[in-house]
């Protein structure tokens, strides 16, 4: 009888989901005020106010937009190879995509975290997560480059990541797909409940260099971790994670993982975890994971394989992990600017629960538990609840905050954003999104001091918003003005692949730090050629190194002979320019590879193994001057 009811409610939920998707709010040309165009217009030659870093989802990249114009400025490769600049193709960048499973040139990038100091944006780094091969990347906002990628062992489906603590002490990773970990990995799938587990990784970030290393992992029961946020102010020492599938189903999750009324928000006291790690409460597990670092002096990435990781088991570490019951399959888990309120968003719940950090501390002190789950104390729902936002809409997902004490929650199923007041949980306004919004992003929304002003909806479904482009439509974002009482739609702009999440920051935080060129005299690449007169070709066995230079408007050397079929030829191209915005590119006919793009002062290498005799033209691929077409040359390949 019970399971029949469950099936019934799931069937009706599926019905709601399907019917909502087939009858989105009507009127693609919905109300936009005549002021909207003015509000988003950035005159030619003027800059946008905000940089917006938008995840590319299944394209594994990060795109950079200007706001409020919605202009696409750049695509930054992170977890995927990128022919535009040779990322993952050049000899220097291949190591960035190395993993314990070898070269993995794709991932699913969902989330973005901008580094903060004392809870406010500092404009230094952006962290992103790779979901599929669990990884975390760090990009530097001075050069807009992926500088570091660290793989997370003992995990699968790194979804609630790369969220950060207030001072960027840590960036976290987690396990969405529980898997057998440790030494027993080949087990029947139906032994999920006994054998499947996960970890939460706390990756320490060096405050000066930004370098990451996994400080410790915390063993978690076999439930699915979805999203997370670090505490602020009084909750500074804590991290909160949403988790679903506390049923621990391993099949038909849409039925079996939604059986229970409540799942959990997991609260971790990371300060305490640090102490336990220091006190030797953890165990070093033998594992293998890659740590890839790009060095800006040598313009080269190196990959190191690390062989163990420190794991803390909550069983050995009391008062470190707690569960707060949260209705029903929570997705979003967000902390307000004060650090007092934690918002869990049950996708299937009728209300939005808001938890109080103060009450949580009191409940912990009073041991006000309703029981334990896998040995971890479960606090009483009523004891930790600040209150519920009633009848917010259908399918609450994510919440962000403005500077005036308001919260904004995305509603996937009813395709809208609901604005409510944190203090009294009163709903103040609602506005449709086109269509089926996932995340939303308020300017500075995850920080201690939100800027407000604009909010962007990142939508899962586009339907009729743009000119159709075949069966595959562009994904879509929408910009809203949130400066007044009512939210106002200003602009639609298409995004690059699926924009799960994004975070924006004032352009003024970055512009000053922006690297313009690399000084040629500081180039420490082992094959750098620091002047045209130094260009040369060397041979060692069947390895040929071409030390080549590029400067408007010639490549040196431009006639290369003496290469034989089967040789491994390395073109090390140094761009001798010392002017801003004069890259040169390089490609050679038939190379089973991409081009490379070399910034002023930089050296990059394209490897080529000719398989037949002939004359192979090469040329500069980036239009660099009136004589760009003249930047070309020939490689002669002779029979052995
Ligand atoms: S998300 Cu990854 S499924 Cu709501 Cu952060 Cu889109
Ligand atoms: Cu150099 Cu085109």
Burial of 306 (0-12, 13-18, 19+ CB in 10 A): middle
Per-residue pLDDT tens over the stretch 244-286: 999 999 888 888 888 888 999 999 999 999 999 999 999 999 9
The finding on whether 94 has its CB within 6 A of some atom of ligand 1 is no
Strand partners for 244: 224
Residue 348: pLDDT band (50, 70, 90) is confident
The finding on whether 586 has its CB within 6 A of some atom of ligand 2 is no
Which class would CATH give 2-511?
mainly beta
Q: How far is the CA of 404 from the CAs of 116, 218, 357, in angstroms?
A: 20, 36, 20
159 neighbors 241 (Cβ within 8 angstroms):
no
The finding on whether 389 has its CB within 6 A of some atom of ligand 2 is no
The predicted pLDDT at position 254 comes to: 82
The finding on whether 109 has its CB within 6 A of some atom of ligand 1 is no
User: In this model, does residue 3 exceed pLDDT 70?
Assistant: no
The predicted pLDDT at position 13 comes to: 44
Least confident of 167-176, 249-258, 372-381: 249-258
ipTM exceeding 0.85, yes/no: yes
Rounded-to-integer distance, Cα 342 and Cα 357, Å: 7
The predicted pLDDT at position 31 comes to: 60
Name residues whose C-beta falls within 8 Å of residue 401's C-beta, 6 or more positions apart in sequence.
334, 336, 337, 407, 408, 422, 442, 445, 450
Rounded-to-integer distance, Cα 325 and Cα 384, Å: 9
Residue nearest to atom 5 of ligand 1 (CA): 500
Rounded-to-integer distance, Cα 139 and Cα 126, Å: 5
190 neighbors 172 (Cβ within 8 angstroms):
no
Strand partners for 377: 372
Radius of gyration of the chain (CA): 26
User: In this model, does residue 584 exceed pLDDT 70?
Assistant: yes
The ligand 2 atom nearest the CA atom of 583 = 1
pTM: 0.94
Burial of 106 (0-12, 13-18, 19+ CB in 10 A): middle
What percentage of the chain reaches a pLDDT higher than 90?
A: 90
Closest CA to 421 of 331, 295, 336: 336
Map tokens 């007169």 to a residue: 533
Mean pLDDT of 96-121: 98
What one-character DSSP code corresponds to residue 542? T
Rounded-to-integer distance, Cα 496 and Cα 72, Å: 9
Q: How wide is the angle at C-alpha 550 spanned by C-alphas 546 and 555, nearest 5°?
A: 65
The ligand 1 atom nearest the CA atom of 398 = 4
User: In this model, does residue 17 exceed pLDDT 70?
Assistant: no
Helix-strand-coil percent breakdown of the chain, rounded to 5? Answer: 15, 45, 40
The predicted pLDDT at position 29 comes to: 53
Rounded-to-integer distance, Cα 278 and Cα 22, Å: 55
Per-residue pLDDT tens over the stretch 568-582: 999 999 999 999 999
* Mean per-residue pLDDT of the chain: 94
The ligand 1 atom nearest the CA atom of 331 = 4
Residue 593: pLDDT band (50, 70, 90) is confident
Rounded-to-integer distance, Cα 85 and Cα 257, Å: 43
The predicted pLDDT at position 328 comes to: 87
The predicted pLDDT at position 443 comes to: 98
The finding on whether 482 has its CB within 6 A of some atom of ligand 2 is no
The finding on whether 363 has its CB within 6 A of some atom of ligand 2 is no
Per-residue pLDDT tens over the stretch 281-340: 999 999 999 999 999 999 999 999 999 999 999 999 999 999 999 998 899 999 999 999
454 neighbors 488 (Cβ within 8 angstroms):
no
Query: At the topology level of CATH, where does 520-638 sit?
Result: Immunoglobulin-like (2.60.40)
The finding on whether 439 has its CB within 6 A of some atom of ligand 1 is yes
User: In this model, does residue 16 exceed pLDDT 70?
Assistant: no
Mean pLDDT of 199-227: 97
DSSP-based three-state secondary structure for 483:
coil
Cis peptide before 68 (omega within 30 of 0): yes
Q: How far is the CA of 278 from the CAs of 46, 49, 77, 275, 395, in angstroms?
A: 52, 44, 37, 5, 42
Least confident of 29-33, 87-91, 181-185, 369-373: 29-33
Mean pLDDT of 158-173: 98
Rounded-to-integer distance, Cα 184 and Cα 193, Å: 14
The finding on whether 417 has its CB within 6 A of some atom of ligand 2 is no
User: In this model, does residue 7 exceed pLDDT 70?
Assistant: no
201 neighbors 173 (Cβ within 8 angstroms):
yes
Q: How wide is the angle at C-alpha 374 spanned by C-alphas 372 and 376, nearest 5°?
A: 50
Name residues whose C-beta falls within 8 Å of residue 566's C-beta, 6 or more positions apart in sequence.
542, 609, 610, 611, 640
Measured in whole angstroms, the distance separating CA 82 from the mean position of its chain's CA atoms is 17
Mean pLDDT of 121-132: 98
What percentage of the chain reaches a pLDDT higher than 70?
A: 95
The finding on whether 620 has its CB within 6 A of some atom of ligand 2 is yes
414 neighbors 445 (Cβ within 8 angstroms):
no
Structure tokens at 635: 């490689």
The ligand 1 atom nearest the CA atom of 227 = 5
445 neighbors 119 (Cβ within 8 angstroms):
no
The finding on whether 554 has its CB within 6 A of some atom of ligand 2 is no
Q: Residue 549 C-alpha to ligand 1 middle, in angstroms?
A: 45
User: In this model, does residue 476 exceed pLDDT 80?
Assistant: yes
162 neighbors 171 (Cβ within 8 angstroms):
yes
Residue 15: pLDDT band (50, 70, 90) is very low
Q: Residue 628 C-alpha to ligand 2 middle, in angstroms?
A: 5
The predicted pLDDT at position 21 comes to: 45
Q: Residue 71 C-alpha to ligand 2 middle, in angstroms?
A: 26
Residue 20: pLDDT band (50, 70, 90) is very low
User: In this model, does residue 8 exceed pLDDT 50?
Assistant: no
Q: Residue 576 C-alpha to ligand 2 middle, in angstroms?
A: 12
State how beta strands 543-551 and 568-575 pair.
parallel
Domain boundaries, the chain: 2-511, 520-638
């Amino acid at each position: 009888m019970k399971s029949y009811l469950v099936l019934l409610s799931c069937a009706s939920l599926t019905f709601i989901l399907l019917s909502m998707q087939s009858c989105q709010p009507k009127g693609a040309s919905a109300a936009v005020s005549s002021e909207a165009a003015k509000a988003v217009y950035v005159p030619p030659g003027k800059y946008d106010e905000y940089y917006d870093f938008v995840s590319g989802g299944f394209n594994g990249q990060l795109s950079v937009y200007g706001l409020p114009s919605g202009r696409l400025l750049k695509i930054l490769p992170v977890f995927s190879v990128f022919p535009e600049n040779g990322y993952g193709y050049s000899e220097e960048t291949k190591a960035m995509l190395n993993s314990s499973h070898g070269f993995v040139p794709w991932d699913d990038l969902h989330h973005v975290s901008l580094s903060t100091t004392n809870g406010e944006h500092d404009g230094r780094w952006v962290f992103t997560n790779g979901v599929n091969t669990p990884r975390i990347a760090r990009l530097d906002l001075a050069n807009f480059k992926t500088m570091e990628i660290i793989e997370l062992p003992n995990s699968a489906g790194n979804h609630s990541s790369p969220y950060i603590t207030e001072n960027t002490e840590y960036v976290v990773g987690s396990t969405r797909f529980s898997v057998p970990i440790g030494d027993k990995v080949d087990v029947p799938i139906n032994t999920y409940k006994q054998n499947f587990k996960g970890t939460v990784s706390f990756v320490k970030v060096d405050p000066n260099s930004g370098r990451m290393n996994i400080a410790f992992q915390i063993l978690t029961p076999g439930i699915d971790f979805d999203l997370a946020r670090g505490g602020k102010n009084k909750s500074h020492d804590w991290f909160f994670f949403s988790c679903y599938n506390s049923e621990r189903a391993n099949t038909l999750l849409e039925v079996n993982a939604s059986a229970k009324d409540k799942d959990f928000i997991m609260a971790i006291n990371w300060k305490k975890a640090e102490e336990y790690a220091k006190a030797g409460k953890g165990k070093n597990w033998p594992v293998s994971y890659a740590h890839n670092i790009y060095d800006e002096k040598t313009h080269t990435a190196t990959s190191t394989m690390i062989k163990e990781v420190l794991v803390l088991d909550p069983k050995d570490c009391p008062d470190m992990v707690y569960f707060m019951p949260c209705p029903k399959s929570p997705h979003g888990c967000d902390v307000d600017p004060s650090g007092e309120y934690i918002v869990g968003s049950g996708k299937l719940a009728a209300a939005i629960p808001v938890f109080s950090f103060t009450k949580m501390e009191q409940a912990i002190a009073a041991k006000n538990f309703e029981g334990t789950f896998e040995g971890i104390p479960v606090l009483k729902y009523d004891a930790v609840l600040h209150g519920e936002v009633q009848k917010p809409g259908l399918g609450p997902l994510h919440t962000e905050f403005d500077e005036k004490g308001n919260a904004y929650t995305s509603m996937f199923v009813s395709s809208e954003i609901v604005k409510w007041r944190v203090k009294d949980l009163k709903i103040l306004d609602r506005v449709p999104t086109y269509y089926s919004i996932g995340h939303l992003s308020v300017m500075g929304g995850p920080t201690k001091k939100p800027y407000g002003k604009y909010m962007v909806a990142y939508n899962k479904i586009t339907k009729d918003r743009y000119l159709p482009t075949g069966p595959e439509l562009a994904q879509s974002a929408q910009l809203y003005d949130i400066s007044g009482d009512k939210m106002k739609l200003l602009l639609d702009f298409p995004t690059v692949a699926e924009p799960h999440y994004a975070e924006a920051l004032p352009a003024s935080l970055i512009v000053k730090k922006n690297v313009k060129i690399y000084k040629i005299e500081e180039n420490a690449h082992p094959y750098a050629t620091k002047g045209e007169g130094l260009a040369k070709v060397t041979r060692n066995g069947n390895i040929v190194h071409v030390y080549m230079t590029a400067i408007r408007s010639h490549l040196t050397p431009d006639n290369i002979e003496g290469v034989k079929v089967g040789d491994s030829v390395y073109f090390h191209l140094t761009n001798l320019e010392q002017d801003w915005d004069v890259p040169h590119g390089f490609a050679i006919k038939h190379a089973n590879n991409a081009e490379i793009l070399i910034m002023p002062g930089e050296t990059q290498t394209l490897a080529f193994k000719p398989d037949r005799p002939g004359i192979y033209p090469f040329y500069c691929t980036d239009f660099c001057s009136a004589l760009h077409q003249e930047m070309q040359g020939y490689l002669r390949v002779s029979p052995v």
